[in-house]
Structure 1
């Protein structure tokens, strides 16, 4: 790929302006929230202690969605395949950085919840990509809807999360790691092969 096309793509996606801001916010939230929790009402009975770190990936995932939705339609309509592959590369790089940063910060702070933020970012990114492919721009609301569903009905009495929730599961939970990887793989696949232009 020529440097000119790459410069055009970066400017079209606003990656040079949006991503540094959301990554800075991501790191700040990792440092500030750590294992803090808040009590929320639950539809399954009683109150639920929800770790605030569950919400840390939301600005990053939203910023990534904003970049993917920033496009020059006339130019991209003639090179859909190449642009989709470049977009897929952007998703991979952002997700890898999110996992690396959360791991470094979590290990430095000795906080497993912070390390798990990377896994959760992977899951929510995949969910956002699937949503965009199915519903266009409205699909970027799926990660937030998932988080709200988890908070409202994702816990048994005693604050024990159901297996399907993925996000509040402990770092070492194999089903949560597998769920995050599968969701991310599905998201990247639909982004490269089936993603449609948002309107």
Structure 2
């Protein structure tokens, strides 16, 4: 689920018309931030609810993974807008192939492989998401 949400969000944020946004009377940048926050909070809450109802740790971990991958996508978008969708997908593939040091022991940097209740990765995910929001708020994009 996190990759679907991050890809859809990256697509929505990429749909800009620079001329219209420059002269807009509405705060487009603030609306983009609101879209990002509401999307991630709603999708993350859905993951937590499904995880609580089904007892699935993987469903619960989607909330943490969504915060991490969305923040990572927003940071990548600030650096290179065309990379916004590619970066989270690449991260998942890198973690799949290189994320374990031993059987069932993920590296510390492989955030998405850790158990859902592992607090350091949740705090890191919130930090990455906050950095992504800061990058989104400070970056001006052109088409």
What's the TM-score, normalizing by structure 1? 0.68
Residue of structure 2 aligned with 1:104, choices 49, 52, 58: 49
For 1:118 and 1:79, locate their aligned partners in 2 and report how far apart those are by CA, in whole Å: 34
Q: CA deviation at 1:80?
A: 9.5
What is aligned with 1:133?
Answer: 78
Distance 1:177 1:81, change over 3 A: farther
What is aligned with 2:131?
Answer: 186
Residue of structure 1 aligned with 2:98, choices 126, 149, 153: 153
- DSSP 3-state at the match of 1:164: coil
Structure 1's consecutive aligned runs of 4 or more residues displaced over 4 angstroms after TM superposition are none
Report which of the two structures shows the higher radius of gyration computed on alpha carbons: 1
Residues 52-131 of structure 1 mapped to structure 2, 5 A cutoff: 56-79=1-24, 82-131=27-76
For 2:140 and 2:56, locate their aligned partners in 1 and report how far apart those are by CA, in whole Å: 36
Greater RCO, 1 or 2 (C-alpha within 8 Å, sep 6+): 2
Distance 1:81 1:145, change over 3 A: farther
| Partners of 2:18 and 2:141 within 8 A in 1 | no
Distance 1:184 1:153, change over 3 A: same
Gapped regions of structure 1 (runs ≥ 5): 1-55
Distance 1:174 1:86, change over 3 A: same
Gapped regions of structure 2 (runs ≥ 5): none
| Partners of 2:9 and 2:36 within 8 A in 1 | yes
Q: CA deviation at 1:195?
A: 4.2
What is aligned with 2:113?
Answer: 168
Distance 1:192 1:81, change over 3 A: farther
Distance 1:186 1:78, change over 3 A: same
Could you report, residue by residue, the CA deviation over 1:94-113 in whole angstroms, capped at 9, with x for unpaired residues? 01001110011111101121
What's the TM-score, normalizing by structure 2? 0.93
